[in-house]
Amino acid sequence: MSNSYGKLFRITTFGESHGAAVGVIVDGCPAGLEISAEEIQKALDRRRPGQSDITTPRKEEDKVTILSGIFEGKTTGTPIALVVGNKDQASHDYSHVAQAFRPSHADYTYTAKYGLRDHRGGGRSSARETVARVAAGALAAKLLQHYGITVQSYVSQVGSIKVRKPYNQLDLSQIDANKVRCPDGKTAARMIGLIEDARDSLDTIGGVVSCVVQGVPAGLGEPVFDKLHAELGKAMLSINAVKGFEYGSGFEGVKLRGSEHNDQFYTDEQGKVRTRTNHSGGIQGGISNGQDIYFNVAFKPVATILQPQQTINDVGEEITLQGKGRHDPCVLPRAVPIVDAMAALVLADFLLRQRGNRL
């Protein structure tokens, strides 16, 4: 079981949903990076449960504790250990699934692989693990900021309700202006109504998080198997509930001919190489070309629903199972900082790897 990600900027996460804590070890972060507990906490606050009436009511402060690697507000170059305690577990809510395989959860597959599982909130398979990723992502984002690189994600679709404007026609400073984290206010209101309807129907709904990375220099990416878009795809698909990833023109690009899809080069007034269009999504040949990187991440409806469903137990008997406890009717608002974090971790790693590619 792999619990680590990255080659030079490397993270290892640990902990379970209903254990004592979740945490992360960050190894390879350069010394001298200014970072405070408050900056890490700000990222965690965007992910934490209980932040609005369209998220799970589980109450967790998600207070981060820095155990090592940061001294007097700067990274020391040694491993950074970050821990977040679990305070509001309600393990009794899961006693009814101790012997049952919940539809579309990891219960059966974990049992098939390991011969046992932690049924309390899914244990290690729970999205609670992403707390650690967001904490580490705050460090990665600060490193990127040092080089003028920004990562911004937002909810672009809930169910069939979709933002019709491209990212460069949206005011991304408004991402956190509403509880669904969609920078298009009118569309956000419709999205919230749809999520509330799903919640009131004891159901769930999925959608899409879009991400835009700006300020990336040309040259990041490691062909042939560590292409930049391939690593971004792997990072996004490692997030709980993710079912799809596309970058640049994605699946819509198949509708165009090559003469329409090709991004033609030119040199701007400052002598910088640019492209007139960006169907490539800022990546060509697996390497960044200096243009904006943009991609979409599809999230399925949350698997736990508070309706009766047919399934089987661990001895193969057919049973009726109904979800209990506190769950998100839609994961998207809290997924935004997770997408931000994973994108930042990928780019921070490639940024450090690029240092050794040329004199």
Q: Is 285 annotated as a binding residue?
A: yes
Distance of CA 31 to the CA centre of its chain: 26
Return left, alpha or beta for 89; rule: phi > 0 is left, psi -120 to 50 is alpha, else beta.
beta
Q: Does 124 appear as a known binding residue?
A: yes
pLDDT for the residue numbered 93? 53
pLDDT per residue as tens digits for the range 142-167: 999 999 999 999 999 999 999 999 99
Q: Which two tokens mark 55?
A: 């998220």
CA distance 338 to 204: 19
Is residue 232 within 8 A of residue 248, CB to CB? The reply is no
Output the pLDDT for position 358: 63
Task: Identify the pLDDT of residue 192.
Answer: 98
For the chain, give the number of residues. 359
Other CB atoms within 10 Å distance of the CB of residue 70: 23
> Binding residue per annotation — 230?
no
pTM of the shown model: 0.95
SS3 for 287-337 is EECCCCEEEEEEECCCCCCCCEEEEEECCCCEEEEECCCCCCCCCHHHHHH
Q: Which two tokens stand for residue 206?
A: 């999925």
Q: Is 102 part of any known ligand binding site?
A: no
The owner of tokens 């490397």 is 10
* DSSP code of residue 28: -
297 is in an annotated binding site: no
Tell me how far CA of residue 55 lies from CA of 195, 271, 333, in angstroms: 10, 48, 8
Q: How far apart, in whole angstroms, are the C-alpha atoms of residue 131 and residue 129?
A: 5
- Residue 125 marked as a ligand binder: yes
The pLDDT, as a whole number, for residue 92 is 52
Q: What is the pLDDT of residue 118?
A: 83
- Whether the Cβ atoms of residue 154 and residue 176 lie closer than 8 Å to each other: no
Is residue 304 a known part of a binding site? Answer: yes
- Pairing between strand 10-15 and 4-5? antiparallel
Q: In DSSP terms, which residues pair with 11 in a beta bridge? A: 5, 26
Residue 302 assigned as binding residue:
yes
Residue 90, annotated ligand binder?
no
Reading the chain (359 residues) residue by residue, the pLDDT tens digits are 589 999 999 999 999 988 889 999 999 999 999 999 999 999 999 999 888 888 887 777 899 999 999 999 999 999 999 999 988 655 555 567 778 898 998 889 988 899 888 887 787 888 999 999 999 999 999 999 999 999 999 999 999 999 999 999 999 999 999 999 999 999 999 999 999 999 999 999 999 999 999 999 999 999 999 999 999 999 999 999 999 999 999 999 999 999 999 999 999 999 999 999 999 999 999 999 999 999 999 999 999 898 999 999 988 999 998 877 778 999 999 999 999 999 999 999 999 999 866 65
**CA pair distance 172, 35, nearest whole angstrom:** 24
- 274 labelled binding-site residue: no
Q: Tell me, what's the pLDDT at 49?
A: 85
Q: Is residue 326 annotated as involved in ligand binding?
A: yes
> By the 8 A CB rule, do 208 and 333 touch?
no
pLDDT at 214: 98
Confidence at residue 46, expressed as pLDDT on a 0 to 100 scale: 96
